[in-house]
Amino acid sequence: MSIIAYLLVIEAASPPSDIPARLVGAAVTEGKVLATLEELSDTVGPRPAGSPGAQAAVEWALRTFKADGLKAWTEPVLVPVWVRGVETGEVVAAPPALNQTLHLTALGNSAPTPPNGVTAELVEVSSLEELEGLGEAVRGKLVLLQHAMAEAKGYGEAARLRTRGPAQAARQGAVGALVRSLATASLRSAHTGQTSFGATPPIPAAAVSVEDALLLHRLRARGPVTVRLVLGCGPGKPAKAWSANVVAEVRGREKPDEVVLVSGHLDSWDLGAGAVDDGAGVALAMEALRLISKVGLAPRRSVRAVLYMNEENGLQGGVAYAQRHAAELPRHVAALEADSGAGRPLGAKLEAGPGGAELVRRLLSPLSALGAAQLREGGGGADIEPLRYAGVPVLELWQDTSRYFDWHHSAADTFDKVVASELVLSAAAYAVLAWQLADAPERLARPPEPKEAPWWSASPLPPP
């Protein structure tokens, strides 16, 4: 069905309030989401936290919000600075094979190698449990963390290997770690991402392309394999820098102190342009707020857009927002995040208290003609996780992610991967969902606060 056909259907099916249909119509006929994402991707480009690109993105977002007639401001966030540098790898001994170049990229928070690199025999594991079971056998070795992710649903388990595996290898005496790229498609491309060492002294850690991970597996079946890894990455100078979240708001007409939050993260990795991760989420949040501001009637409650800084390598923006607005959080009635790319909308994922699912299903009903009225319980997002810990109901825009991990965290994350019609429909769905939550007579019940302690570290704020 075409976008125009969708629009005609939703207009005919709209509830007594015609605002949802008007939001969809405006998104389709006068939307800016595609132009916004193109400008961010192509004129700002990569945006690692603490980089000139990140600062340019903050200035661009503030300028764009204000040009759209919205009240907007920045809120300081102290972020770590990590830089990439040289990165090479090669098989140097795997008789009878000749030396072969490996396509790889450093993982965020990786330590550098010595200038001449590290050369070590490769040990391969497919789980953290298998790695732990090897004990001292990995001392002095280079550990390959292998997995079989082939679909988007496999990301969570594979990400566990990437975030925790190198630190586990370090504790067992390994001199470095390679992780098979978390990708659902590959043209011998490496996909980066964060790895966490905590109190463990970091070791060199890199993501290797899917093809090269499989090559190493096959070579090991023939006999011992030795790899040389050279990484020039490490903390920047300075190792920390001040950046900012960018915030904008449409004030509510009846209960302006109550807030529905829409969000995406402004930072990206440095390999590509950060178009699908998470330029798309940024553009969706900006467009949702712009559309709501232009629809002619403010919702009951305020709608606030937050573009977070440093979701990718530490979550400092999400933690800083929760700290700064702690006194307001009891009046945050819902927090939404878009961080699943530019695919078509399917509905929402939700974590709320009793009755929340029934309420959100009703609020999603105007999106049924778009195929975007499905609800899955258990949602949220990394940046709004601190708000969930404070008892705020959290939602995630549920999108088609079948192609998302083809490009995620790689040099292929560029604007040309975006399907215009799908992004426009997601912008419409995001705006409608935010409006419905902000204008509903009732509020979502708050979920119980988690019993476990938060896993993140505090993000320092500037003096008042």
Walk across the sheet containing 176-180 and list its strands. 100-102, 87-93, 226-231, 118-125, 142-145, 176-180, 205-208, 104-106
Q: How far apart are CA 100 and CA 91, in angstroms?
A: 5
Task: Based on the residue annotation, tell me whether 90 is a catalytic residue of this protein.
Answer: no
Which of these, 150, 147, 183, 145, lies nearest to 167 by C-alpha position? 145
Q: How far apart are CA 357 and CA 376, in angstroms?
A: 8
Determine which helix (DSSP H) or strand (DSSP E) holds 167, and give its type and residue range: helix 155-171
CA-based radius of gyration for the chain:
23
Cis ω before 278 (30° cut-off from 0) = yes
- Convert 329-367 to b/e letters by CB count within 10 Å (16 or more is b): bebbbbbbbbbbbbbbbbbbbbbbeeebeebbeebbebb
In terms of Cβ atoms closer than 10 Å to its own Cβ (0-12, 13-18, 19+), residue 136 is exposed
In terms of Cβ atoms closer than 10 Å to its own Cβ (0-12, 13-18, 19+), residue 319 is buried
Q: Which amino acid is at 170?
A: A
Q: Is 464 helix (H, G, I), strand (E, B) or coil?
A: coil
**DSSP secondary-structure letter at 188?**
S
Beta-bridge mates of residue 63: none
From residue 79, alpha-carbon distances to 93, 164, 246, 317 in Å are 40, 21, 14, 8
Q: How far apart are CA 348 and CA 336, in angstroms?
A: 9
Q: Which amino acid is at 269?
A: W
Q: Which two tokens stand for residue 424?
A: 């426009």
Q: How far apart are CA 137 and CA 96, in angstroms?
A: 25
Angle, helices 420-439/19-30, rounded to nearest 10 degrees: 150
Q: How far apart are CA 236 and CA 51, in angstroms?
A: 9
Bridge-based pairing state of the strands 142-145 and 118-125: parallel
Q: Which of 38, 287, 311, 337 is an active site residue? A: 311
Q: Which amino acid is at 431?
A: A
Q: Which two tokens stand for residue 418?
A: 């975006």
User: Which residues are marked as active site?
Assistant: 311
